[in-house]
Amino acid sequence: MKELCTFTISFLLLKFSFIMWGLTEPSCFWRIKNNGDNDGDLRTDCGFVLFTRQEPIEENFYNEIVYFRIPARSYEFFLVMFFATDEINKNPYLLPNMSLIFSLIVGMCEDTLEYVDTNYSFKRNTLNIVNYNCYLRARCYIQLTGPSWKTSLKLTINSRKPKVFFGPFNPNLSDRDQFPYVNQIARKDTFLSHAMISLMLFFEWTWIGLAISDDDQGIQFLSVTREVMQKHSICSAFVNVIPENMQIYMARANIYDKQIMTSSAKVVIIYGERNSTLEVSFRRWEYLGAQKIWITTSQWDVITNKRVFSLDFFHGTVTFAYHNGRIPKFRNFMQTMNTSKYPVDISQTILEWNYFNCSIFKNSDSEMNHFTSKNTEEWLAQHKFDMVLSEEGYNLYNAVYAVAHTYHELILQEVESQKILRHKGRFINCQQVASLLKTRIFMNPVGELVNMNQRENQCAEYDIFNIWNFPQGLGLKVKIGSYFSCFPQSQQLQISEDLKWATGGTSPQVPTSMCSVTCTAGFRKIHQNEAAHCCFDCALCPENEVSNDTDMEQCVRCPDDKYANLEQTYCIQRHVSFLAYEEPLGLTLGCMALCFSALTILVLVTFVKHKNIPVVKANNCILSYILLISLIFCFLCSLLFIGHPKKTTCILQQITFGIFFTMAISTVLAKTITVVMAFKLTTPGRRMRRILASGAPNLIIPICTLIQLVICGTWLATSPPFIDRDIQSEHGKVIIICNKGSVTAFHFVLGYLRSLALGSFAVAFLARNLPDRFNETKFLTFSMLVFCSVWITFLPVYHSTRGKVMVVVEVFSILASSAGLLGCVFIPKCYVILVRPNSNFLQKYKNKLLY
C-alpha cells in the first residue's frame, strides 16, 4: 500500500512537471511554506533607512544591525535590501567611492523578529538599532516603508524625513498637502478594472461578486469597475463594502458571510488593503469553505489550506500584477551569498522556503521517482532553485535605486557648487532631498524606465497568475496570461495557449459563473422583472424566426423565401411550388380539360354534320353552336390555372373564366326563354311571331356578356390580380399563386354568374312539362341545377383551403360545372342522333304529313 501511494504521488508530480514546463517561463515563482509556525503568507510592515558612508562596510555590519534569525514572512524584503545595496556598491558609476547601507526603523518589523533567547542578545540588538537611529536622526536620509500604508506610515507620519512607500499604489498618498514627504514607487492601477473584466469576458463569467474595502481607493475602484461591467453586460451578484472599523465590521460579518456562501456567483473580485477587516473577511470565508475563484491583486497571493492536490487550473486565487522585469543576478547573488557578511544561513533558509525549478525536469524526469511526501524538503534541497520577486519586493528594489540616484545627484550638486562638507554623503536639507527624490528619472538594471514624478502608465502591462496548491501546502504561482492595455481590444488579453496541451489535450474544467443558464441557439432571452439584466429565462423563438447564437435578445425572422429549421437555428431555402403539369394532380386536371374540350368539339362537329335533323333544328341550332363554343373555352380556360403563374395568366384566368361562363349561362337562358315563348303563346299575335322569327331572344347573350365585361373591366382598373407568394400553406415551401387582387370584384363576378344561372333555372323549371318530343327544358333545368350546386359548394370549400388546393378547387369547379352543362344538355341529343336515328326519321315523316 505504501508503494502504491508513493507511485501515485510520483505520477502526479511527473504530470505536474510537464504542466510547469509548458506553462511557465524559465524560472518559477516561490511561495512561503504554509505551516503551523508561519501564519500563511501574511507579511508585516517593515521600515528601512538608507544612508551613505565613505568607508567600506564592515564585515560584520549587518550581523550587528540584524542580530536575529530573519523570519520567513519578512525574508524577501531583507534579501532585496542585501542584494540591491550590494549591486549598487559594486557599480562604479553610481555612488562611486561611497557605500550604500541600510538600517531598520525602530518600532517596525518587531513583530517578525525572532530574537535569540538570551537577555544579552536582545539588549545588544536593541542597542545597535537605537544607536544607528540616533546617528541618523541628525541627518536627512530617505526612509523606505511598506507594504501597508496605514501601518507602515503611522510611526513615521510626523517625521519630516523623505519617504518612499514600496507597497501598492494608494491615491491617498498622492495628496501633497497631507503627505508632503511621501513618494510612491508603485504604479497606479489605471487599467486594473479593464484587465479583470477582460478575463471575465474571456471565460464568460457574467455573474460576479465584489468585496471592496470601504476607503477612498476601494470606492474609486468600485466605481470604475461598475462602469466597465455595465459596458460589457456583466452583473454584480452582490457588493460587500467592508467597513474599516472592526466593531462595525463584526456587527455585519454574518451578513457578509451569508452573501458569500449563498450566492450563485462563483467568481469574486477582492480589492483592498491586506492586514485589514477585508482580510479578516477573507479568512472567515476560507474557514467556512467558500468555493470561489478569487480575482485580486498580487498582494493577495493566498494559498488555501487544502491538503488534496488538484490539477484544476481554476481554483483558489487568480491575481493581477504589473509586469516586472526579471533580475538575472538575483539568483547568482543567492548562490554566492557571503554568509559571514550577511545574517543568513542559506542552508537553513532553503528549508524555510518551498521552491520549484521547472528546468530540472527537462533533463531528468527519472529523479521524480525518488520523490515522496516524506522527503519533500530533502528532495528540494538537492536541486537548484530560482526566485522571482513579488510586486512589493520589486518595488522595494526600484525604491533602493531611486534613493541611490537621489544621493548620487546630491553629491554631484555638492561637487559642482564646491560645498563639499567635511563628511561627504551626509545630507542635512530635507527639502532639497525630497525635491530631488520626487523628480528622479532613471533606468533600472532590468531596463525599465522609472519616473518618480509620474507613476501612472499610459500603457499598462499586467501578468495574470493562478495560485496552485501542492502536496503538504506547497504553493506555486503560475503565469496563465497577460493583459496589454495599449493593444487593440481583441488582442489585449492573451491567455496561455499551452493550457490545453498541458492537461493532456483536454480543456480545463472552467467553472461557470452566470445568473442564468445560457440560452442556446434557437432560444431568446426574456428578462425577469426587477432583476439584473444577467438574470433571464429562455424562450423558444416564435414560428419562422431563428437565433444562431447564444443569449440572443431577439430572434430574427427568416425572409419569405426561407424557413426556420426544426431547431430554429438557421433559415433554409424554401422550395418553390405551384400547380405544375409535372405533378400528378396538375397533369390529371390538364388532361381532363383537354379531354372535355375535345369531347365538346366532337359534339359540335356532330351537330354541324346533322344540322338538318329534327332534334338539332327543333332546339335552335345557332344557340347550340354558341353554347358548345363557350363550353370549349370554359374547359380551355382552366389550363391558365396550371403551370407557373405569370402576370398575364393571372389576369386572363379570371377574365376568361367570367366572360365565357357568362356566355354559356346566357345562352342557356336564351334557349330557355325561346322555348317558353314558343309553347306558352298558344295564339300568338303578329307582333310576337315577328319577335320570335327575328331571333330577339338571342340578344340576351351579348347583353349579359357586356355586363360581365363591365364588371371585369372595373376589376382590372381598380385592383387587378397579381402574382403572390404563399409561405403559410406548406412547411418549407413557397407556393406561387395568383392573388385575386380584389376579393369583392371576384365575388361580384361569381354573384353575377349565379344570378344568371338561377334565372335560367327558374325559367327552365317552369317550362319543364311543356309538350314535344324534343323539348329540352328538362335537360336545361337539370344542367342549371348541377351548375348551381357546383358553385354553391365551391365558395365554402374554396375559402377553407390554402395554397395549391385553392387552385385545384377552382379548376375542378370550372371543369365540373362545364361538364355538367355539356352532359345534361348535349349528351341526350347525341344519344338520339348517333344511337337512335329512327326517332329523327319518324318525326320528320310526321312533319311532312302535317304540312
Residue 147 banded pLDDT, cuts 50, 70, 90? confident
Of 337, 298, 440, 348, nearest to 80 (Cα)? Answer: 337
Mean pLDDT of 586-614: 89
Cell numbers linked to 15? 504530470
**Higher-scoring residue by pLDDT: 788, 18:** 788
- Lowest mean pLDDT segment, chosen from 430-434, 693-697, 735-739: 693-697
Instruction: Please give the Cα distance from 58 to 649 (Å, whole number).
Output: 113
Radius of gyration of the CA atoms of the chain, in A = 52
Residue 722 has pLDDT above 80, yes or no: yes
Structure confidence at residue 614 (pLDDT): 74
Residue 601 banded pLDDT, cuts 50, 70, 90? very high
Phi, psi of 86 (to 5 degrees): -65, -40
Residue 287 banded pLDDT, cuts 50, 70, 90? confident
DSSP assignment, residue 69? B
Structure confidence at residue 289 (pLDDT): 84
Task: Map 271-330 to HEC letters.
Answer: ECCCCCHHHHHHHHHHHHCCCCEEEEEHHHCCCCCCCCCCCCCCCEEEEEEECCCCCHHH
Phi, psi of 661 (to 5 degrees): -70, -35
CB 667 within 8 A of CB 605: no
Q: Measuring CA to CA, how many Å separate 336 from each of 90, 164, 340? A: 15, 29, 12
The DSSP bridge partners found for residue 536 are 527
Mean pLDDT of 368-374: 41
Residue 124 banded pLDDT, cuts 50, 70, 90? very low
Instruction: Please give the Cα distance from 144 to 184 (Å, whole number).
Output: 10
Phi, psi of 193 (to 5 degrees): -60, -45
H/E stretch holding 375: none
Residue 403 has pLDDT above 90, yes or no: yes
Residue 699 has pLDDT above 50, yes or no: yes
CB 335 within 8 A of CB 58: no
**Higher-scoring residue by pLDDT: 839, 436:** 436
Structure confidence at residue 334 (pLDDT): 77
Structure confidence at residue 591 (pLDDT): 93
Mean pLDDT of 769-773: 58
- Lowest mean pLDDT segment, chosen from 347-351, 355-359, 752-756, 823-827: 355-359
Residue 107 has pLDDT above 70, yes or no: no
Residue 829 has pLDDT above 50, yes or no: yes
The letter for the amino acid at 799 is H
Using N-to-C axis directions, what is the helix angle for 584-609 and 621-637, rounded to 10°?
170
CB 143 within 8 A of CB 48: yes
Phi, psi of 150 (to 5 degrees): -70, -45
Mean pLDDT of 635-644: 90
- Lowest mean pLDDT segment, chosen from 180-194, 323-337, 360-374, 485-499: 360-374
Instruction: Please give the Cα distance from 613 to 830 (Å, whole number).
Output: 12
Task: Indicate the average pLDDT of the chain.
Answer: 77
Of 545, 628, 552, 635, nearest to 816 (Cα)? Answer: 635
CB 725 within 8 A of CB 577: no
Q: In 10 A of CB 173, how many CB atoms?
A: 19
Strands 475-484 and 493-495 come out as antiparallel
**Higher-scoring residue by pLDDT: 78, 139:** 78
Residue 120 has pLDDT above 50, yes or no: no
**Higher-scoring residue by pLDDT: 504, 378:** 378
Q: Measuring CA to CA, how many Å separate 780 from each of 163, 541, 753, 789, 794? A: 122, 59, 16, 14, 21
Residues with Cβ within 8 Å of 761's Cβ and at least 6 positions away in sequence, in order, are: 781, 784, 785, 788
> Each residue of 551-594: pLDDT tens digit?
888 999 988 888 889 889 999 988 888 888 888 888 999 999 99
- Lowest mean pLDDT segment, chosen from 408-417, 676-685, 698-707: 676-685
- Lowest mean pLDDT segment, chosen from 118-132, 245-259, 291-305: 118-132
Mean pLDDT of 2-23: 42
**Higher-scoring residue by pLDDT: 374, 526:** 526
Cell numbers linked to 398? 526600484
Q: In 10 A of CB 600, how many CB atoms?
A: 25
Structure confidence at residue 37 (pLDDT): 40
Instruction: Please give the Cα distance from 497 to 448 (Å, whole number).
Output: 27
Cell numbers linked to 478? 503560475
Q: What is the pTM of this model?
A: 0.64
- Lowest mean pLDDT segment, chosen from 82-96, 132-146, 164-178: 132-146
Residue 825 banded pLDDT, cuts 50, 70, 90? confident
3-state secondary structure of 4: helix
Q: In 10 A of CB 719, how many CB atoms?
A: 16
296 by Cβ neighbours in 10 Å (0-12 / 13-18 / 19+) ranks as buried
**Higher-scoring residue by pLDDT: 370, 239:** 239
Structure confidence at residue 44 (pLDDT): 66
Structure confidence at residue 689 (pLDDT): 57
Q: Measuring CA to CA, how many Å separate 786 from each of 399, 635, 638? A: 110, 16, 18
**Higher-scoring residue by pLDDT: 694, 430:** 430
Residue 762 banded pLDDT, cuts 50, 70, 90? confident
Mean pLDDT of 777-781: 78
Cell numbers linked to 543? 414560428
Residue 686 has pLDDT above 70, yes or no: no
Residue 371 banded pLDDT, cuts 50, 70, 90? very low
Residue 523 has pLDDT above 90, yes or no: yes
Structure confidence at residue 234 (pLDDT): 92
CB 737 within 8 A of CB 807: yes
Residue 396 has pLDDT above 90, yes or no: yes
Structure confidence at residue 400 (pLDDT): 96
Q: In 10 A of CB 112, how many CB atoms?
A: 19
Mean pLDDT of 277-291: 87
pLDDT more than 90, % of the chain: 22
- Lowest mean pLDDT segment, chosen from 420-434, 542-556, 700-714: 420-434
Mean pLDDT of 737-745: 87
Q: Is the peptide bond before 488 cis (omega within 30 degrees of 0)?
A: no
